[in-house]
Amino acid sequence: MKPINQLRIQDEFVGFYLLKELNLRQTSGTPPKDYFDIVLSDATGQISAKYWDVTIQDKETFFPMQLVKIQGTVQSYRDQPQVKISRIRRATDDDGVSITDYVKAAPLRPVDLLHTIKLAIKSIAHEEIRMIVTYCADKVEDKLMHYPAAKSYHHAYFAGLAYHIVRMLEIGDFICKQRPFLNPDLIKAGIILHDIAKPEEMIAQMGIVTDYSNQGKLIGHIALASGWIVEAAIHHGISLDSELVLGLQHLVLSHHNLGEWGSPVQPQTAEAVALHYIDMMDAKLQMVEDALDTTAPSEPWTPMIRGLENKAIYRLKIEEESVRSGNEKETIAPPSG
C-alpha cells in the first residue's frame, strides 16, 4: 500500500485511506449522473479523488471520516494528481486498521504543547492580562489537545491549533528580545488569544473539520474571542473602559489585518502589528513545510498551495562545496627551516 505522498501519475494502487471529505455531485450530461467528489487522506497528506456512477446503496454506505479500502488510478487533472476510484468498500474490524493511523498530527505531543502554552500564560507578569488569558484559555483547554487551526489552509490536523500557538510563541519571544519596545505580555496574550475561539467556530473530529458551528457561521472566531475578553474582564471586575481590555480586544480584532480576511479593523498598536506578521509568518511557512513534507523528494515542485496565492514551491538542491568542486584543495606545507 502506498502512502499518499508517494502516489504518482499513472500509478495503479490498492490501499486503505480516510474519507476526509465526501460530497455528492452530478455530472453536467443528459441525464445527469451522481458521483462522489472525495478528498482521501492519510498521515502523509491528502489527494483529490472521484468515484463515478454512484448507486443508491453507495449513498447509504459512504460518509466522511470513514476508513475505506480502494482500488484506483492516479490521473492528471488541471496539472494536479487526482485519483479515479474503480472499487471502494468500508474498512472492517477484520482488516486490522485503525483510524488513528491515517490521521495527520502535529509533530509534538498534544500534552507537551498544552504544557508549553500553560507555562507561557503563567509567565505573563501583568496580573490582569494573565487572568483574562487564563479565563479564555480555560474555555477550550480540552479541545486544544486535538483541534486543528483551520479547515484546510494551515495547521489543519490533529493538535494543529496548539502547535500553531506554540510556534508563534517561539517567534514572539525572539521578536520581543530584538524589539524591546514591544510589550511581551501583550504579545504572549495576543498569540494565545488570537485563535482561541477556533474550537467553538469549527466542528472537528480527529483534527479534521467536518463543518462550521452555528456560532462559527454567524459570528466567527474573531468576534467570539473579543467577546470572551469582555466576559473575562467582567468576571474579574476589570473595567471595560481600561486600556488593557481595549488593547487585548484590538489584538484579536485586527490580527487578520484586512476586512476581506475577517478583521473589522487594521492593526494600530505596535503589538497588533507584530501579532499579525507573527501569525502570517508561522501560517505561511507551515503551508510550505507541509507541502514539502507531502511531496516526494524526487519531485522538484510541490503542488500549488492555495494559501500562497496558488503558487507552487520549488525544492532547491544546493550541493556541498566539496562535492561541487570534486575534491578538496591541496594543502601546501610550510617551508622548512
* Distance, CA of 275 to CA of 291 (rounded, Å): 24
Per residue in 179-199, pLDDT (tens digit) is 999 999 999 999 999 999 999
Backbone angles phi, psi at 68, to 5 degrees: -135, 155
Check residue 295 and report its DSSP letter: S
Of 58, 81, 77, nearest to 9 by C-alpha is: 81
Q: Which residue has the cell 470513514?
A: 66
Average the pLDDT over 77-81 and give the result: 83
Residue 335 in this model has a pLDDT that exceeds 80: no
Q: What is the pLDDT of residues 155-173, one digit of tens each?
A: 888 999 999 999 999 999 9
Whether pLDDT at 333 is above 60:
no
What is the structure's pLDDT at 327? 54
pLDDT digit string, tens, across residues 131-154: 999 999 999 999 988 999 988 778
pLDDT digits (tens, 9 = 90+) for 268-289: 999 999 999 999 999 999 999 9
Rounded to a whole number of angstroms, the CA Rg of the chain reads 24
Quick one: 127 exposed, middle or buried, by C-beta within 10 A (0-12, 13-18, 19+)? Answer: exposed
Question: What's the average model confidence in pLDDT over 105-119?
Answer: 94
Whole-number average pLDDT of the chain: 90
Higher pLDDT, 209 or 335: 209
* 3-state secondary structure at position 186: helix
Query: How far, rounded to the nearest angstrom, does the alpha carbon of residue 265 sit from its chain's CA centroid?
Result: 24
Confidence of residue 69 (pLDDT cuts 50, 70, 90): very high
- pLDDT value for 337: 46
